[in-house]
């Protein structure tokens, strides 16, 4: 072959390898068992919880693609041997909701009223046609208890943080809480100020969750962990809020805020990658704290 032919073949091989890699990443789901009846599934997107109950299988969050939703559905039914009776969305972001259309129309889908509002505002195209049936079809504002035969779920909107509509799920019998994106374990969080999120409120929001009876914690991103790690995360968010508030009170510029050495509760934190870096870095969270405290952002209606 001539040089240009070799070059063409090499480029095609590289492109093929790249897309194969992405496809394998999307396909791969790793299951971890927490208790007899509770599992977490890790993959490309937010962490999914699967609960086996007398009245069917409960899923919390559905990752980023309908295809992943299908894989989650298969995997969950293989784990429990029961159909999916209930899907819960912790908040509106695509990496927690876009698997929803894979579930059967008529499935009960629960979220907060604010989450439904944000989905209608930002994602109406994705949830059109048949997929519209997999939008949240049962909503609440502050809290809701769901009995599923032998299991009890407490769904609580503990306050603003990541958005203004996040819910956490307490699996009462398993003494485990799914935090959604109110908790990125060992990662800097996305802070969706435009979606009503708040650095200033986040610490108090976690404090409310800490009042619940649990010892195991499923974060929205990162591996499962325990109560003391959530306490540490609260200290991080509170410190971040203080830095923002001081900057606003003392007229400290964004540039100087980004250079601060006052943020110390982020030891071992790393930016989150979902194949590519998402931009949730130390600078990003400091910038968001500054923007909120100085009013330099626009809330989405």
126 Cα distance to chain centroid: 18
Please state the closest distance from residue 81 (CB atom) to Zn ion, in A.
31
Please state the closest distance from residue 93 (CB atom) to Zn ion, in A.
3
Which residues on neighbouring strands pair with residue 60, listed in sequence order? 49, 88
Comparing CB distances to Zn ion, the nearer of 101 and 219 is: 219
The span from the CA of 47 to the CA of 125, in Å, is 24
Residues 123 to 182 in contact with Zn ion, rule: CB under 5 A: 181
Residue span binding Zn ion (CB under 5 A) among the ranges 33-41, 87-95, 167-175, 272-280: 87-95
First to last CA, the chain: 60
Q: How many CB atoms lie within 10 A of CB 157?
A: 23
Comparing CB distances to Zn ion, the nearer of 117 and 151 is: 117
Comparing CB distances to Zn ion, the nearer of 93 and 187 is: 93
Q: How deeply is 267 buried, as exposed, middle or buried, from its count of CB atoms within 10 A (0-12, 13-18, 19+)?
A: exposed
Residues 177 to 196 in contact with Zn ion, rule: CB under 5 A: 181
Residue span binding Zn ion (CB under 5 A) among the ranges 77-85, 88-96, 147-155, 275-283: 88-96
Angle between helix axes 227-249 and 282-294 (nearest 10 degrees) is 50
Please state the closest distance from residue 106 (CB atom) to Zn ion, in A.
27
Please state the closest distance from residue 138 (CB atom) to Zn ion, in A.
21
93 is an interface residue for Zn ion by CB under 5 A: yes
Please state the closest distance from residue 147 (CB atom) to Zn ion, in A.
28
Residue span binding Zn ion (CB under 5 A) among the ranges 90-98, 164-172, 253-261, 291-299: 90-98
Please state the closest distance from residue 181 (CB atom) to Zn ion, in A.
4
Comparing CB distances to Zn ion, the nearer of 199 and 252 is: 199
- Which of helix, strand or coil describes residue 49? strand
Tokens of 218: 């499923």
Residue span binding Zn ion (CB under 5 A) among the ranges 91-99, 197-205, 223-231, 265-273: 91-99
Q: Which residues bind Zn ion (CB under 5 A)?
A: 93, 181
């Amino acid at each position: 072959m001539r040089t240009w032919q070799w070059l063409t073949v090499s480029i095609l091989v590289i492109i093929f390898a790249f897309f194969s890699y992405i496809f394998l990443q999307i396909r791969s789901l790793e299951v971890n068992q927490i208790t007899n009846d509770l599992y977490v599934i890790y993959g490309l997107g937010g962490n999914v919880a699967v609960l086996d109950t007398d009245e069917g299988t409960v899923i919390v969050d559905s990752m980023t693609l309908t295809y992943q939703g299908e894989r989650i559905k298969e995997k969950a039914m293989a784990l429990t041997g029961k159909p999916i009776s209930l899907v819960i969305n912790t908040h509106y972001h695509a990496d927690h909701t876009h698997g929803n259309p894979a579930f059967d129309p008529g499935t009960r889908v629960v979220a907060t009223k604010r989450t439904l509002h944000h989905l209608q505002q930002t994602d109406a195209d994705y949830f059109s046609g048949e997929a519209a049936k997999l939008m949240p079809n049962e909503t609440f504002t502050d809290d809701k208890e769901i009995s599923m035969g032998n299991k009890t779920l407490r769904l609580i909107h503990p306050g603003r943080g990541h958005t203004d509509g996040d819910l956490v799920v307490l699996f009462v019998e398993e003494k485990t809480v799914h935090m959604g994106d109110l908790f990125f374990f060992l990662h800097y969080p996305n802070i969706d100020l435009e979606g009503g999120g708040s650095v200033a409120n986040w610490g108090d929001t976690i404090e409310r969750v800490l009042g619940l009876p649990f010892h195991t914690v499923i974060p929205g991103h990162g591996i499962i962990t325990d109560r003391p790690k959530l306490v540490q995360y609260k200290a991080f968010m509170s410190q971040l809020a203080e830095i923002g508030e001081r900057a606003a009170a003392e007229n400290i510029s964004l540039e100087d805020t980004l250079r601060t050495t006052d943020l110390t509760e982020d030891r071992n934190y790393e930016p989150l990658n979902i194949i590519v870096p998402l931009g949730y870095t130390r600078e990003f969270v400091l910038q968001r704290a500054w923007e909120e405290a100085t009013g330099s952002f626009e809330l989405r209606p």
